[in-house]
Amino acid sequence: MNFSGAGISVEFPGLENILERAAMPDRTIILTTLNQAWAQPNTMIDLYLESFRSGEETSQLLDHLVIVALDLVAYDKCKLLHAFCYMLKTEDVDFSGEKFFMTEDYLKMMWRRIYFLKIVLELGFNFVFSDADVMWIRNPFPRFDKFADFQIACDAYTGIPEDMNNRPNGGFVYARSNKRTIDFYNYWYMSRVDHPGLHDQDVLGKIKTDQDFLDIGLQLRFLDTLQFSGFCQILNDVQVFPTQTLLFNFACSW
């Protein structure tokens, strides 16, 4: 399903081309974002890429990773490290510095990300998005629910993937491109207006039981923190990862 058009090409020049080049045969890509604060030597982006190279059955996934740079310094750093880099321009906003949790610029950055991911879906690409502080220990793809439209990590997991009482964490998501996910991302993005001052995952927590959301028919699944660890139910010993652990997140939203 491809919704590409002149408008997207103008707003995001070159995006569709780079996604095509990086995509898996089923049009799935892996995305992360990078700004100047995390592009310094020996910081998160180096650890992030090293986790792909060192993880179990993850090195080949680097061929499908697109790093979305939020400023020119990050873009130049990306070009030194990786084959697929995309410069995401945002008018009148400087995303280069460290954005502290829940500041105005932090919120702008989070909602810009949601809008960008919506565009990726409209272009007909499935995606896995992970923050750059997520370490890829093992290949997560075999563990995804093949019938779900949208799967997301948790800050707290009840043990039931369909339970709306799970607390979502937007640091790791898997979305399939179809009408339901596109409608969902549109609704999610527009809901920021009704919930000013909240970031994307808190807004998702509020809208996931709305009737308008339920009417979309999205097959939503929450990811088990035993496998997708550190969001934010942290292991007692992070030096030894159980065989079930696929990903580990260094940062929490608490």
74: buried, middle or exposed (CB in 10 Å: 19+, 13-18, 0-12)?
buried
Q: Which alpha helices (DSSP H) does 129-222 contain, by range?
A: 179-190, 200-207, 211-216
Q: Are 207 and 201 in contact (CB under 8 A)?
A: no
In eight-state DSSP terms, residue 107 is H
What's the Rg (C-alpha) of the chain?
A: 17
Name the token pair of 57: 């059955």
Q: Give residue limits of the domains in the chain.
A: 6-249
Amino acid occupying residue 254: W
pTM value is 0.88
The set of residues, in sequence order, having a beta carbon less than 8 Å from that of 225 and lying 6+ positions away, is 153, 154, 156, 157, 231, 233
Does the 6-249 domain belong in CATH 3.40.50.720?
A: no
Full pLDDT tens readout for the chain, 254 residues: 444 556 787 889 999 999 999 999 999 999 999 988 888 887 789 999 999 999 999 999 999 999 999 999 999 999 999 999 999 987 665 555 444 444 566 788 888 999 999 999 999 999 999 999 899 999 999 999 999 999 999 988 999 999 999 999 899 999 999 999 999 999 999 999 999 888 898 999 899 999 999 999 999 999 998 888 754 444 444 444 445 577 777 544 33
